[in-house]
Structure 1
C-alpha cells in the first residue's frame, strides 16, 4: 500500500466517525389515532325472509250424496260466486224416489180420511150405545196410526227432495277453483272430494322464521312485503299467526301475515319476501376498523384519557351491519375506543387523540 492510499483511508475513517458523532438517537413520535366515546343505544334492524301467497280459507268440495257425475260446470282457474253451481250428479234416481214418496203420501192421505170418517161414525154409534168401548178404541187407534204414517211419509218425502237438491254442488264462497279430481261419468261417493277452491277474501303471506329470529316478532306486528313480480314496490301486512312449534323438517317456525294491501293482479302462489323491522336493546355500534382479532378472540383498543395510553380490551359482538359492528358486552359507557389507526399501535403504546364525535 502506498503512502497516498494510507492517507486516503485515514481521511475516510475520520469522516465516518465525525458523521456518527453528529447524528444523535432518533426521538420516538406518538401515533395519532381517532377515538370515539362508546355508548349503548337501541338499534333497529331489518330481517328478511322469503315466502308465498295463499288463501286463508281453502275448501274441499264434495257431494253429500252418491251418484254419477253428470255435468262439470267450471274448470280449474275459474272464479266463482257464492251459491254458484259447480257440478251436477245424475238425479234421475232421486227424482223417481221423490215421486214414489209423493204417491205414497196421496195413498196415506186417503187412508187417513177413511180412518177419520170411521172414527166419527164410531163415536156417533157409541153415544147411542150401538157399540162398546172396544170398537171405539179400535177406530181411534186406526185413525192415530194413519195420521202417524202420513207424517212419516211427508218427512221422508222432504228428505228425498233435499237429497235430490244435493245432486247439485254449489260454491261455498266467492273464490277460485284450484283443483279438480273427478271427470264426467265417474261415480262418486258421498263426501268424496271432487274439487278444491280458495276463497277470494283474506289472502295471506306465509313464511318461516329461524329460531334465532322468531322471538323478535309478535302477533299484530307490521311488516312490509315485496313480490318478485312487482319489483321494489312494498305492501303493508300484519303478523296474524305464529306457529308455536317448529317444523320437523327444519328448525323454523311458520308465520302467517294478513295482507293489508295487495296488487290488483296478485295471484295465489306468487312468491316474494317479507321485511320485519326489529329493535335490539343495549347495543353499542363501532366501526369494523376498530376490531382486533388475536388468539381467536376479539379486542378493541381503549385509551386512558389522562395517560393517553392504549390497552387491548376483549369484547363480544353480534354481527356487522354495513361497516358497523354491534357490541354486546366488554365495554362501559364513556370509554374512548380507537376507531381508526388500531392496526398501527400495540398494547401499552402512548397515542395522540383525534376525537370522533359521531
Structure 2
C-alpha cells in the first residue's frame, strides 16, 4: 500500500550520531473543541489532534526561545508532513502559536508560512535519508509577527496564498523564522509526547540548513498543530476517487430547509464523527457515528433550528476529515 511504502522510504539504513537537544520544561495548552478551524472546503491537521486523550504543549528551549519555534540553537524553520489519499489544492495555512516575544519593535519582523515538497535529504530517528525531508517550495506567504495571534485558546493564525496551489498527496506545511528581527521569538503548539499520526512527520531546519525530525533530534515524538485549508469539494459519492478514504454528498443539494440528507462512503473500517459548524466556527453538532464498516451510508441531519446562513459539514474517519459547505435558507 502507498502509505506503507512511503513510511519505509522515510527510514534510513544508517545514520550519524547527533547530540541530543534539551528542553527546559513544557507549558500545558488547552484546545477548545474545533474552534478556530478555517471555514473552508476542508481543513486538515494531524490525526492526533482528534485523539480524545491528546494533550497539547509548548516547550521552552535551552538558550531561550521554543523547542517548536526559533530558539538558542538557531533553528530556522519547523514543518509538519501530511500523507493523504490523493492530491489536493491548498488554499491557506493556519498555525496555533502558543506564545511570542516581541522586543525588537521592528515593523518588518515576520514569519513565513511555507508549503514544502518532501523531496530533500535529511535525517530522521533511524538515520540519514536521501529523500522525504522538506525541500522545494510550492508556495510562501509572509505574516508579520504582530499578526500572529497568541491571545486565546486555540486561536489559529491563518494566511492565504496568492492563488490556490496544487500539491501532491505527500507534502509538508511549516513556518520559517528567518524573517524575525533579533530579540523576537515565537513557538508553535505541539501535541504531547507520543501523540502523533505518523512517527517522524514533524521536521525542523537547523542553522546549517539541514533538516531533522523532532523525534530524531530532541528526541520528542510530537506533531505540530499546523493546519492546511484544501479544496476537496469535487469528491462526491459518485466519484471514483476518495478524499481521506471518504466520499460525501448532499442528496437534497447544498441549499437546505428543515433537513440535510447526507450520503457518504468509507473505503475502510473506521471510527467516525459528524461535525457541523457555522460560518463563525461555532459548533452546532458533534455526533459520534460509531464504528462503520466499508460501505455506503445515509444520515439525516435536523437543521430546523439553524439560523439562516453558511454551514460546514465534516465527516471524520480515524482522525482524518472531509468537509463540505451548505447554506440554510
TM interval, short-chain normalised: under 0.3
Q: Normalized per residue, which structure has more helix?
A: 1
Relative to the length of structure 2, the TM-score reads 0.21
Relative to the length of structure 1, the TM-score reads 0.19
Which one has a bigger Cα radius of gyration?
1
Higher relative contact order (CA 8 A, sep 6+): 1
Q: Normalized per residue, which structure has more strand?
A: 2
